Structure formats: C-alpha cells, structure tokens
Amino acid sequence: MPSLFDLLTEVAPALQARVQSQLTGFTAMFVRSYLPQRWVFVTETETASLVVESSGATSAVRGVAAPPDVTVEIGLERLRVALTTRQKDLVPPGPLKVTPHTSKGQTAFQFLRSRLGL
C-alpha cells in the first residue's frame, strides 16, 4: 500500500488539472476566492498535506503545510479508496474527523466532500 505522501502525490496532478480548468470563465470568480488551500491529512502512521496555490498548482508535502485550512484525520485505506474511486459507496466505514481552521477551508471541504468520496 502506498504511503499517505505517495497517495497525495499521485492524486495531485488530476486535482491540479481540475482546479486550473475552473480558473477560467464564470466559475473563476468563485473558485479564486477559496484559494490557496492547505489540507492536512493525518492517518494512523503519517501526516502529509495537499497544497493548492492561487494559480491552481497542486502539490503534496510531508507533514503539516502551514497555515492549514483543514485537518482531516482518517484511516489510510479509507482515504485511498475515497481519493482513487471517488465513490462513497465503495469507501470502507471508519472514523473521519474534520477540523476546519479557516472559513474558506470549511466551505471548500463541504463543497468537495462528496466529490472526494467522503
């Protein structure tokens, strides 16, 4: 099974393409107001972050990317299935704790939660 950092590194390019496609046209006004975003993921064994810059550039970093917008505590297998399938019915049950640190992080997470399979 890949590490948390490897998993986030693997999904970052697809997320970047999706975000950057939303940075043009009518949706750009809405999306830009929520960027940048720094989401910290904490699993049983590792902490890593997904960072989306104002340009839409997306990357994974080891540890906590400061300042965080959201911290998500979740089992690695549950997160792996959620991020790779994006189908909530395939995601195994388990604990999920979401701690928003900013209002833009809270809004973004609520908007994207179902699209992430969570």
Model-wide pTM > 0.85: yes
Cα 79 to Cα 89: distance, rounded to the nearest angstrom: 13
What's residue 118's pLDDT?
Answer: 78
State which residues form the domain around 22.
Answer: 4-116
Which CATH number characterizes residue 84's domain?
3.30.1050.10
Q: Taking 90 as the threshold, does the pLDDT of residue 113 lie above it?
A: no
DSSP class of 93? P
Count the domains in the chain. Answer: 1
Give pLDDT tens digits for 5-30.
999 999 999 889 989 999 998 989 88
Mean pLDDT for 91-116 is: 88
Q: Alpha helix (H) ranges present in the chain?
A: 4-21, 27-32, 76-85, 103-112
Q: Which position has the token pair 């960027």?
A: 35
CB 87 within 8 A of CB 12: no
What's residue 100's pLDDT?
Answer: 96
What's residue 87's pLDDT?
Answer: 81
Give pLDDT tens digits for 80-90.
999 888 888 88
Give pLDDT tens digits for 42-57.
999 999 999 999 999 9
